[in-house]
Amino acid sequence: MGNYLFDENMIDNILDLKRRILKKTGRVLPGKFELFLEPICLREEYRTPYLWENNTYGIDFTFLKNSEEYSNYLLPSKLTIEHSAVDHFLCEPQPVMSFDLNTIDDQNEIPNHIEISKKVVGTGKMDGFCLYFKVIFDDEIHFDTSPFSSNTSWMHPLFRTERRHYDQGEYISYTFTMDVLAKWETWSISVDGTRTGVKRIATNSRSP
């Protein structure tokens, strides 16, 4: 399991072992997983604004937002953050997907395009989306890599966004796409500019 859960080719590797050596009465442990992608507000000392978000000594840098000339100097859209960097979640945490390696036989059964809309319960400025996961052995034994749980060896990936204020009761709508499941660099998030609530749906756009 990598920091992004899928990025060490876990699914293909385990399903291959399952096909070749697991008895019909056997089980994969841990087999159940939940993936979370939560809008977060960072503590001020951990914020890394985009270049165009700065206003230093009265100099407005917004003109650099779409500048190709300065694109090499912009920080990447994906970072890792420290365990203590998150001030709070803007929404009630809920998994964007869950799966059980005991019941699936092919990684194509895992959705790679997910549309989410979440109601804001904690007013604040969104700095991006923190990705973490929950690992479930059974009804009693599990752990997760949330920044508000006990620290683990896994880091906390952050999909950065421009800072934007949300009030309680508003909705954050976003789309999560994983072009190649095991390659996190192909993953992306787009934020819906509208603030209307829709039900969360998960679809599988891969070819059978």
Taking the domains of the chain in order of start, what are their residue ranges? Answer: 10-45+65-203
- Predicted TM-score (pTM) of the model is 0.83
Q: How confident is the model at residue 19 (pLDDT cuts 50, 70, 90)?
A: very high
pLDDT at 196: 30
Query: Rounded to an integer, what is the distance from CA 84 to the centroid of its chain?
Result: 17
Let me know how long the chain is. Answer: 208
**Phi/psi of residue 167, nearest 5 degrees:** -100, 155
Task: Please give the share of the chain, as a percent, with pLDDT higher than 90.
Answer: 70
Q: Counting beta carbons within 10 angstroms of the beta carbon of residue 68, is it exposed (0 to 12), middle (13 to 18) or buried (19 or more)?
A: exposed
**Is the per-residue pLDDT at 73 higher than 90?**
no
CA angle 159, 83, 50 (to 5 degrees): 35
pLDDT by residue (tens digit) across 81-101? 999 999 999 999 999 999 999
Cβ neighbours of residue 105 closer than 8 Å, sequence gap 6 or more? 15, 18, 19
pLDDT at 57: 83
Query: Rounded to an integer, what is the distance from CA 114 to the centroid of its chain?
Result: 11
DSSP annotation of 163 reads E
Identity of the residue numbered 2: G
CA angle 95, 132, 204 (to 5 degrees): 50
Q: How confident is the model at residue 115 (pLDDT cuts 50, 70, 90)?
A: very high
**Is the per-residue pLDDT at 71 higher than 80?**
no
Yes or no: say if 142 and 129 are a contact pair by the CB < 8 Å rule.
no
Q: How confident is the model at residue 69 (pLDDT cuts 50, 70, 90)?
A: low
Tokens of 197: 């609530």
Mean pLDDT, rounded, for 149-157: 94
Cα 72 from Cα 159, distance rounded (Å)? 18
User: Which CATH number among 3.40.1190.20, 3.40.50.2300, 3.50.50.60, 2.70.160.11 corresponds to the domain 10-45+65-203?
Assistant: 2.70.160.11
pLDDT at 74: 53
Tokens of 87: 């001030």
Cα 98 from Cα 46, distance rounded (Å)? 30
